[in-house]
Amino acid sequence: MSALNLEERPLKLHFIPYPAAGHMIPLCDIATLFASRGHHVTIITTPSNAQTLLPLQNSIPHLHLHTVLFPSRQVGLPPGVENLSSVNDLHNSCRVHHATMLLRTPIAQFVERDPPDCIVADFLFPWVDDVANKLRIPRLAFNGFSLFTICAMESLRGRAHGSEYVSPVVRGLPHRITMNATPPKELTEFIEPLLETEMKSHGLIVNNFAELDGEEYIHHYEKTTGHRAWHLGPASLICRTAHERGQKSAVDVHHCLSWLNSKRDNSVLYICFGSLCHFPDKQLYEIASGVEASGHEFIWVVPEKKGKEEESEEEKEKWMPKGFEKKGMIIRGWAPQVVILGHPAIGAFLTHCGWNSTVEAVSAGVPMITWPVHDEQFYNEKLITEVRGIGVEVGAEEWSLIGYAERSRLVGRDRIEKAVGRLMDGGDEAARIRRCAREYAKEAAQAVQEGGSSQKNLTALIDDLKHLRDHPPGHFFFLSQTFGAGAICK
């Protein structure tokens, strides 16, 4: 085969997304980018997760699903519960996570039978490193964080634990950041080894556009870690099936849009805390009271309540002040978030700062009211408010291990009312933040256009992977991937 033919041969890529909405949705959207350029993509997942990906498989040629059985019985989960976003307690979350670790054998067998040119896997599957090294193929890692957040985590590594420190200062970054809370020890102990394994990969795929993380953070990351990052997002702007992204919507999308069509521009507050966060009733009551006092209309996504069987509908809804529901729209269950955020009536987003929600709001030019709860969300808050100036903080100070953890401090209605007012009541500050949010939305749209930064990164990454395939580096390449470049140079 001539060199030209070799280069033209499509790549064969296997994607292994982690079964949680915030991980799976963006990585599968990114998989479609490769398939849309004619490369052969296989997404490896489990049967019930595959159901949510059928719209992708049906609309994108060259994209296929391969399923491996989810070991429900082995871990004690009911059939069909195969995703972290389908459970709402720690016990069952641990079971889901345990089950995903048991997927190693069937996935490795599948990959080894007919190896791809590259594996793209979530960092929550660190064992993929061994599989890729054994097959001598490159592995790209994905963790669903922004690069800013990874830089901040790296800077705090080993320094901030539990309640030992109050408001840790993140040093050594292009900006001096003081966190509003301290990460729980269990979280850093869980994530740090995963980040270390991630560094051994060929590179990192980021669901963001380079302009939002900024040259300064990309440079900082590459300089301090020696690792390469490719910004290919925002995933929500790539996705062709926004109305059925993730799960089936609990509300009729057309009904939702026609309700929004009847509202003035920037007059509706959108509230959603992602797929993993469940607040207790008393916190929901504070939110409702704060929003009601602000006087603004809203769309509020409240997770479906799995109340006790003997509870009546009325008891399940006792968190809501009387008459509240008439003042806006409440969606119980899954909302078509990207569609809602894209409507001009949405004036602000009260968000838990999950990275996907953040970058979706940025893409839609919607300013944010930040209320981080768990995982890496407190870092995202700083990027939104202090670094990029596209949101205001509600004043959350409790960093939980998981979204449904018991919480000792409530965010009171006064803080909520004040934060909503800062963005929704007009004035210079709101106008400045809104202008800035719109500028980033323009840059996000440009990034995914022909000639935009994410498109160029995709081309560069594809060229790089083709080069690796067609000119495989010898043994030393894979030793350096396994032990780090330094180990080879010494």
Q: Report which of 361, 373, 358, 360 is spatially closest to residue 303, judged by C-alpha positions.
A: 373
Is 239 a binding residue for ligand UDP by CB under 6 A? The answer is no
Is 379 a binding residue for ligand UDP by CB under 6 A? The answer is no
Query: Which of 11, 13, 16, 25: binder of ligand UDP (CB under 6 A)?
Result: 25
Is 72 a binding residue for ligand UDP by CB under 6 A? The answer is no
In whole angstroms, the minimum distance from the beta carbon of 226 to ligand UDP comes to 27
Q: Sheet holding 297-302: strands in order across?
A: 329-332, 297-302, 268-272, 346-351, 368-370, 391-393
Is 301 a binding residue for ligand UDP by CB under 6 A? The answer is yes
* Residues 6 or more apart in contact with residue 356 via CB below 8 angstroms: 22, 25, 26, 144, 207, 235, 236, 274
- Asked if 43 contacts 28 with a C-beta cutoff of 8 angstroms, the reply is yes
Is 365 a binding residue for ligand UDP by CB under 6 A? The answer is no
- Asked if 85 contacts 24 with a C-beta cutoff of 8 angstroms, the reply is no
Is 278 a binding residue for ligand UDP by CB under 6 A? The answer is no
Residue 57 to residue 396: CA distance in whole angstroms: 40
Is 357 a binding residue for ligand UDP by CB under 6 A? The answer is yes
Give the catalytic positions in this structure: 23, 122
Is 356 a binding residue for ligand UDP by CB under 6 A? The answer is yes
Stretch that binds ligand UDP, among 51-59, 279-287, 350-358, 424-432 (CB under 6 A): 350-358
In whole angstroms, the minimum distance from the beta carbon of 206 to ligand UDP comes to 13
Q: Which helix (H) or strand (E) holds 125?
A: none
Is 220 a binding residue for ligand UDP by CB under 6 A? The answer is no
3-class DSSP state of 297: strand
Give the residue with the Cβ less far from ligand UDP, 21 or 433. 21
Q: Report which of 389, 399, 305, 384 is spatially closest to residue 351, judged by C-alpha positions.
A: 384
Q: Give the pairing of strands 346-351 and 368-370.
A: parallel
Stretch that binds ligand UDP, among 20-28, 36-44, 158-166, 224-232 (CB under 6 A): 20-28
3-state SS of the chain: helix, strand, coil percent to 5?
A: 50, 15, 40
Stretch that binds ligand UDP, among 168-176, 270-278, 305-313, 364-372 (CB under 6 A): 270-278
Stretch that binds ligand UDP, among 63-71, 166-174, 331-339, 363-371 (CB under 6 A): 331-339
User: Where on the chain is the footprint of ligand UDP (CB under 6 A)?
Assistant: 21-22, 25, 245-246, 272, 274-276, 301, 334-335, 337-338, 354-357, 360
